[in-house]
Amino acid sequence: MFSFYKMQATGNDFIIINYLENKLGYSYKLLTEFLCDRHYGIGADGLLTVEKSDIADFKMRIFNKDGSEAEMCGNGIRCFAKYVYEKKLTNKTEISIETLSGIKNVNLEIEGDTVIKIQVDMGEPIFELEKIPVSFLGDNYKGSLHIDGITIYPISMGNPHAVCFVENVEKIDIKKYGETVEDYKYFPNKTNVEFVQIVDKSNIKIRIWERGVGETNSCGTGTCAASVISNKYKSTNNVLNVDLAGGKLKTIYDKSVKLIGGAEFVFEGKINI
């Protein structure tokens, strides 16, 4: 039997296990698949583990609900930061967190003993196809690709994304197009997909199709990817308010991307498997 915490950030929910205390001998993949099952397990979009790091304050591993490991998660890292501070694993308000996409620096806004807002430096966006990665071999690449009648803009925020613009996000057949793009031959590691509606220069609205998960209420790296592509190709402002199914986030794009938002505890418990 071991302890777990359930947390959410703009409706993107995670199970957090403290591997500094729990020495579990289970396969990460099998454990994630079981715990994230909403019928037979706890239920979540993904699993986060708190682990020791030799190069940062903490190490965060991220697993999608299908058991695949993700490089980075913008909503997950906010949950992670709130957890380690409020559970008194650190008293720092500036925390470095090791991820598969590098070390991310997080700043916490505190009221009393409670973390009320988290700003994450998500790093610089990546546009080079081989680094996203994208295996498109054509000679006419100019920042976008065409897949089954839709135009997508590949980008990495530590993990791969494909951003496409739509007139109305509520009317898009997200399952049809999300599944098609996620597993398209151009993306050797699959990709997350963001459908973006430009509201005005300071506001965008997006729906998220996450690799290995399906449609989710929110995605932090997806929010950053959508903001950068909107600025680059639709001339939106560097500071954007982003409206997602799970709530609102804010991004600031100035070479690197800052993601600003909250996170909440849902419940805690013990489980025997």
Active site (catalytic) residues: 73, 219
**CA–CA distance from 265 to each of 13, 22, 118, 219, 225 (Å)?**
10, 20, 14, 17, 26
Q: How far apart are CA 124 and CA 224, in angstroms?
A: 10
Q: How far apart are CA 176 and CA 170, in angstroms?
A: 14
| Contact call for residues 206 and 216 (beta carbons, < 8 A) | no
| Contact call for residues 210 and 68 (beta carbons, < 8 A) | no
Query: Does residue 149 sit in helix, strand or coil?
Result: coil
Q: CB-hemisphere CA count at 13 Å for 92?
A: 14
Q: What is the DSSP string of 185-240?
A: TT-TT--EEEEEEEEETTEEEEEEEETTTEEES--HHHHHHHHHHHHHHH---SEE
- Report the phi/psi class of residue 7: left, alpha or beta, with left for phi > 0 and alpha for psi in -120 to 50: beta
Find residue 47's DSSP bridge partners: 15, 63
As given in the structure block, the two tokens for residue 226 are: 């959508």
As given in the structure block, the two tokens for residue 119 are: 């700003």
